[in-house]
Chain A
Amino acid sequence: MDSQNVIEIVGLKKCYTRKEGSSGLKDLLISLRGRTKPEEYWALQGIDLTVKKGSTLGIIGNNGAGKSTLLRMLCGLGQPTKGTIKRRGNLACLLELGAGFSPEFTGRENVMTTLLLSGLTRSDAMKRLPEIVEFSEISDFIDTAVRTYSSGMWLRLAFSAAICTNPELIVVDEVLAVGDLRFKKKCLDRMLKMKEAGKTIILVSHSMDQIETICDQVLWLENGRIREYGSTAEVVQNYKKRAFAVTLAPSKVAVESSGPVAKFREGAAEMELTRVWLSNEQRQPIDAISPGDPLNVHIEYSPNGLIAEPNFLVGLYREDGIKIYEASTEADNVSVGDVATNGGITLTFSELPLLEGYYYLDVGIFEQNWNRAYVYTSRISAFHVIGHTPGKGVFQPPHRWEANKGDER
């Protein structure tokens, strides 16, 4: 094993056999006669991975992608069906925090046992205890049975006990998802400190913010295989695009902005929408923007005969159906005039301060007096907004703060 590496995984495969009912002698007898064939589930289907000392690796992927299985394997829980795992250095696994705690015992007793279980001797554990109690911030209750603890206290103590053992390699599964904000930040800071101290951290999280804060590299798992492995910025961005696209796919949205016009449409069909596409400032077709970027919506149509002064309408919706804005030529006092031949019209949003997410557009062409639609197609086009915005909500209005602390004479 290379001395620079903390983890070396070669061709790792993990198969779980799902047995019907309980395991027992009956099953053994039956299987000896070769009748049953247990159902197999390949949680990991060939993983090769080396983790260098001091690196911080995030593992992302949808539910069932194999993240937790991989993490468990890393911690030595369960045997690889195929392949090998090599690991160096002492390890702290923050997988099932506080699972070993016994409610009847005090916080101090439980921490003591946890430390002993993690491989320390009693005298070493005693030395660590004060730091753990301090970090957990529950020193007033440390000699109370943990059954009286709130879930937050329980977790804080468990996290403190796990992280204060001075490990070389820390494996964290989603644990920062709980606890109050302030303690969460404290844990995060602690992990960053450990990162600076050259520890190796492996983190599974659904929070891209956490991943981006802590990790240098990201491993994207999909269906038990590595889909991408590289720098955090790159992989996270690709993952986001993909994740948003997958969420909408079942509703048959035309995901590609330059793709064919979506099929579910209404209208009398005096006019057809031949193509709707999106572009950036340079008029290059795009399917994703950053918050605050400009966006052009190009609508190309073909009329069946002469159409007198049609109204164009573009509705902008968020993924969950919230209408962000609806623009129409009439409302904006724009006249297209009579239309007889194929043509196009472009709507330009000079800036779209939308928050990260997935958005779609409805496009319609209506009779002059809005009596009826010539054509109206919902979800004809869609795009992502990718990028971090500091606030929360639907959109980000330009804003600033100004503090007035009374007269400063």
Chain B
Amino acid sequence: MYRIIHYRDLLIDLTLRQVKIHYRRSVLGILWSLLNPLLTLVVFSFVFQQVVPLNIKHYSAYVFCGVLAWNWFSSSITMSAYTITFNRELVRLPEFNTAILVAVNVASNMVNYLLALPILLGLLIIDGLYPGWNYLFLPLILLIQFMFTLGLSLIISALNVFYRDIGHLVSAVIVIWFYITPVFYRVGDSKRGYEWVFNINPMALILGMYRNIFVNTEMPDIMTLTIVSIVSLVILLIGYLIFNRLKHNFVDEI
């Protein structure tokens, strides 16, 4: 029990530290974390409403919802490659569970997500989409995305210690992954025969569930919810097992 409280306190402390260190001594401070998704929102809104109209209802809210979740995922994954290799001092602390560092990375990116959430709510309310009881599913979906991201991050961070190419590889893969995930477009608009791409992409399914809640003001599909939960849990388990196998050699490698 003491250990659990300890891990909780440590996770909170390190996460806040990570968030703070980004913005300390900068004038705009934490506002920077909002600027990036807002700029993306402006660009997407302009391009896909004015230049190449996609005819998606409530497009601003639709796209912002996707951008926030995707940013959380992609920055966590890209940064995860370096969570172990860039934290040499902490990894070399005796009896320190290095998996915490990976969780801290995912958590601190989640903080950015949560900080931008009020803006999303604002966009929704402007479009007349008011929060309802279906928002109760939000924590569950956050948890699913957290587990999925953490699972992948554990694998990537551990492997990058031994093969430094992984970090570069991940950056490249994330770019491709972005385009096969419906962040700024809609699954239904794709040609027939390509739905499977989105059905095997957990991020596409997770984004779909966020949109169920926020934009469609409905419950997420229970079937999808169940499958994605199981997949995320399995990924997390696999990630943790791989990480645990490799972590004993971290100190010797970095």
Return the contact of B10 from the options A23, A25, A105, A117 (Cβ within 8 A).
A117
B18 to chain A, nearest CB (A): 10
Tell me if B189 is interfacial: C-beta within 8 Å of chain A. Answer: no
Query: Residue B93 at the A interface, CB < 8 A?
Result: yes
Cβ-defined contact, A77 with B24, below 8 A: no
Contact A121 B5 (CB under 8 A): yes
* Among listed B113-121, B159-167, B196-204, interface-contacting one: B159-167
Q: How far is the CB of B105 from chain A (nearest CB, A)?
A: 15
Asked whether B249 is an interface residue with its Cβ less than 8 Å from the other chain, the reply is yes
Return the contact of A117 from the options B93, B165, B252 (Cβ within 8 A).
B93
Is the pair B251, A102 in contact by a Cβ cutoff of 8 Å?
A: no
Of the residues B12, B95, B163, contact of A25 by C-beta under 8 Å: B163
Contact of B90 with A121 in the complex, beta carbons under 8 Å: no
In the complex the two chains form, is A116's CB within 8 Å of B89's CB?
no
Whether B248 contacts A79 by the Cβ 8 Å rule is: yes
Q: How many residues of B contact A (CB 8 A)?
A: 29
Q: Does A64 count as interface, using CB distance less than 8 angstroms?
A: no
List, in ascending order, chain B residues with CB within 8 A of A105's CB. 17, 20-21
- Check B92 against A120 for contact (C-beta < 8 Å): no
Least CB distance from A375 to B in Å reads 58
Asked if B5 and A117 make an inter-chain contact with CB atoms under 8 angstroms apart, the answer reads: no
- Given that A104-B24, A104-B25 are known contacts, is A121 also in contact with B162, CB under 8 Å in the complex? no
Which residue numbers of A lie inside 8 Å of B, CB to CB?
Answer: 16, 22-26, 28, 72, 75-79, 91, 93, 95-96, 99-100, 102, 104-105, 109, 112-113, 116-122, 125
Would you give 30 A-B contacts (Cβ < 8 Å), ordered by A?
A23-B162, A24-B163, A25-B165, A76-B94, A76-B95, A77-B251, A78-B251, A79-B252, A91-B95, A93-B94, A95-B92, A96-B89, A96-B92, A99-B92, A100-B89, A104-B21, A105-B17, A109-B17, A116-B6, A116-B9, A116-B10, A116-B13, A117-B10, A117-B90, A117-B96, A119-B6, A120-B6, A122-B5, A122-B12, A122-B13
Query: Which 9 interchain pairs have the tightest Cβ spacing?
Result: A122-B9, A99-B89, A75-B94, A25-B165, A116-B10, A78-B251, A77-B251, A121-B5, A93-B94
